[in-house]
Amino acid sequence: MTMFYEQLLEVSDSSHVKTEEKMSRHTTFRAGGPAAYYVSPADARELGEVIRLCRREEVPYCILGNGSNLLVGDGGFDGVVISMTAGFSGCRVDSDRCEITAGAGASLSRVGKAALEAGLTGFEFAAGIPGTVGGAVVMNAGAYGSETKDIMESVRVMTMEGEEKVLSLPELELGYRTSCIPANHYIVLEARYRLKPGDRDEIKAYMDDLAGRRKSRQPLEFPSAGSTFKRPAGNFAGKLIEEAGLAGYRVGGAEVSGKHCGFVINRDHATASDIMTLCQDVKRRVKEHSGVELEMEVKTLGRF
C-alpha cells in the first residue's frame, strides 16, 4: 500500500476508493487503460479533501462525469480520477419558480425526465445528450439549435483551494463548446436551470421526436463519444469527413461511422490507440482535401 493511498483513505471512505480501475468501464468509448486511483466522493466536503490532498502531494487528478466526452490512453492515467456520479446526482424541482437544480453527476436524461414530469419546457434538446450536468456546463453542450446557456441560471463550483462559489450566467462565459470552468480549474458541483411552463404531452412529443431523429441519424448501437470533432465555422465536421472519402474508414477496431461521419465508433474491441490514430488520420486527410483544420471535441487523458 502506497503512502498516497493511505492518505486517500484518511480523507475518503475506503468504499469510495479503487486502485488500478479500468477506465473502459467508465467511458462511453469503452476503451482505455486503468486509473491509478478512482475516487467517488460522497459530498462536497470529501471532494474538497481529496482535491487538497492531490494538490499538496502534487498528484494529478481528473474530474469525471459519465465519460461521454473522454478518451483515456491504453497506458492508463497515473493519477486520481474523481467520479461525480455517486455523490452529486441529486435533482430538485421548484415548479413555482420554474427551476431545476441538479448535481454535476446527474445525467441529462434524468433532468429531462424531471422537467417533463413537472411540465417544464426548455430542457428537451439536452435530454438525449449522453452526458451529465457537469460536463454539459463545462462544454456548453448543445443540440438541435439550442445550448446549455439558453436555460442556465447559475452554477455552484469548487475552486482549486476547495472553496465553493456561485457563478452567474455572464460569469460562466459560455460560448461554443467553451466556458470559464477549465481555465479557472473549477469543479462543477451543481447547476440551476430556469425553464418555462409547458404542456406535458407537447414536451414528451418533442422529446420523442428528437430521440427518433438521433436514433435514425446516429450510430447509437456502437460505443462512441458522440460528435468527435467540433463544428468548423460555416461547415460541418461530418460533411467534411464524408467528402474526404472517409465514411467507413477503419483503424483496428475503430471506425468512422458510415451512418454519421461525425462519429468515430468502437466497432470491434478498439483500443484507445486505434481511436486516436484514426482521429489523427481523419484530421490529416480532411486538411488535405478541404484545407479545414478539424479540432477534436473529445478530451484525452493519460498515456497513449
Looking at 153, 171, 242, 297, which residue is catalytic?
297
Query: What CA–CA distances, in Å, run from 79 to 53, 60, 91, 170?
Result: 12, 5, 30, 33
Give the DSSP H or E segment for 276: helix 272-290
| Residues whose CB falls within 8 Å of the CB of residue 158, separated by 6 or more in sequence, listed in order | 44, 47, 48, 51, 164, 186, 187, 189
Separation between Cα atoms, residue 148 and residue 225, nearest integer Å: 18
DSSP secondary structure letters along 16-40:
GEEEEEEGGGTSTT----EEEEEE-
Looking at 40, 179, 227, 257, which residue is catalytic?
227
DSSP label at 129? S
With CA atoms as reference, report the closest residue to 138 among 173, 91, 163, 87. Answer: 173
Note if 297 is an active site residue: yes
User: Is residue 210 within 8 Å of residue 267, measured between CB atoms?
Assistant: no
- Tracing cell 474491441 back to the chain, one arrives at 269
Note if 83 is an active site residue: no
Q: What sign does the dihedral 93-94-99-101 (CA atoms) show?
A: negative
Give the DSSP H or E segment for 45: helix 44-57
Separation between Cα atoms, residue 182 and residue 162, nearest integer Å: 15
Looking at 52, 55, 177, 214, which residue is catalytic?
177
Note if 177 is an active site residue: yes
- Catalytic machinery residues: 177, 227, 297
